[in-house]
Amino acid sequence: MAQDTFEPVDCLNHFYFGGIIQMVQRIKPILGMWATLSLLSFALFDEASAPPDPMFGIWPTVLLVWLLVALFFDWVLQTTGLNAMKAALVLALTQILGSGVPDVLMRGVSLGEAVLASAFGLLFWVLSGFVYSKLSD
């Protein structure tokens, strides 16, 4: 009768390299989402509304922030099992409810400004989620 044997080397290889292999397979959609967000930022950049003192200068900071967002989005997909478009819509609506609505109700931001900011947020999430989805196939 054959016994199943536990081989620590195989277990360690799977533990250490399994996650790395999965990440490499997802690098294309992650970088695609990052590039989409970066290009949208570049195309829709408004110098008047730029922050006065970004940590690393405006564009390096923008690129870093979008990389963190793309990695977070990938983590959300991996942990929840949602598809990219559903996750993008959930995150967009969360952003609107978490910042747009309170801005209008508590900070006195005009409804027009809040709707415009919400539309841009939705545009960024949906387009980048779409790119992530297409590059994942």
* pLDDT reported for residue 6: 53
> Quick one: 131 exposed, middle or buried, by C-beta within 10 A (0-12, 13-18, 19+)?
buried
pLDDT digits (tens, 9 = 90+) for 11-31: 555 556 666 677 677 899 999
* pLDDT reported for residue 9: 53
HSE of 10 in the Cβ direction (CA atoms, 13 Å)? 3
Which residue ranges of the chain lie beneath pLDDT 50?
none
Pair 13, 120: CB distance under 8 Å: no
pLDDT digits (tens, 9 = 90+) for 78-97: 999 999 999 999 999 999 99
pTM for this predicted structure: 0.77
* pLDDT reported for residue 15: 57
Cβ atoms < 10 Å from Cβ of 66: 21
The residues spanned by each domain of the chain are 8-136
Q: How many angstroms separate the CA atoms of 25 and 131, rounded?
A: 15
